[in-house]
Each structure stands twice: as structure tokens, then as C-alpha cells.
Amino acid sequence: MNDYNPAPAATGEGTSADERQWAMFAHLSALLGGLVTAGWAGSIGCFIGPLVIWMMKRETMPFVDDQAKEALNFNITVAIIFFILLAMTLFTLGIGILLTGPLMLIVGLGWLVLTIIAAIKANQGERYRYPLTLRLVK
């Protein structure tokens, strides 16, 4: 039983293969955005992919609408966390990196693992909910 999935689980039967694939892309596009923009925009690039997919498919594919919003909210939350950790590092004139560096590593690893899990669940037709996520886009 998944404690992080409070929404009713949809089976693969009610969701088309095309919807499941687009929902999976909504989650995985955050990984691509993170890789492409890591040098100059950091975690901001991670929510561009889910945002684009959500804007394109929200009115025609309800499952993609749900999962793209979930991916978007999760990646915005992670960006906020990284911004706060960066601000803490700068505020302490770099000394805070002793604390914020390992925290950034832990958050980054959690982001990677949870994004992959969400993509797999979406491809199976299940509505995945990320833990500890601010639901800003409704």
C-alpha cells in the first residue's frame, strides 16, 4: 500500500496508452530539463517540461492533466527548497555550505528517485502523488 498516493488509483484499463505515455513524459521531462539547464538555471529548468506538457494536454487528457500538475508542483517545491538552501549558503558567506551542501545532495537524490518512481507509476496508469509537495497549481 502506498501512503503517498491518496487519490484513487486508476488502472491501466481506464487510461489510454497515449495518456499513460504523455503522463510519463511529464515526469521525465523534469529530468531532461534538469540536465539541459543544470549549468545556467539549476532547478528552474526542471519545471519547464511539465509545464509545457500540462499546457498542451490539460484539456484533452485528464490523466495527463493530473500527473503533469503533480510533476509541476513537485518540481516547483524542489526549486523553492534549493533556493532557500542557496540563500542560507550566501547569507552565511559560504560557511553554511557545510550544512546546505549535504542537504542539497540529499534533496537532489530524492528528487531523482521520486521522479523515476512517478514516471513508472504514470506509465502503469496509476495516479502518483509526491510526498511533501506544495500543491500550488490546481
User: Per residue in 52-92, pLDDT tens?
Assistant: 999 999 999 999 999 999 999 999 999 899 899 999 999 99
Q: How many CB atoms lie within 10 A of CB 59?
A: 9
Let me know if residue 12 belongs to a domain.
Answer: no
Which structural domain range is residue 73 located in? 17-123
Residue 42: burial class (beta carbons within 10 Å; 0-12, 13-18, 19+): middle
What is the model's pLDDT at position 9? Answer: 46
Let me know if residue 103 belongs to a domain.
Answer: yes
Let me know if residue 3 belongs to a domain.
Answer: no
Let me know if residue 135 belongs to a domain.
Answer: no
Of the pLDDT bands very low, low, confident and very high (cuts 50, 70, 90), residue 42 is low
Let me know if residue 11 belongs to a domain.
Answer: no
Domain count, the chain: 1
Let me know if residue 117 belongs to a domain.
Answer: yes
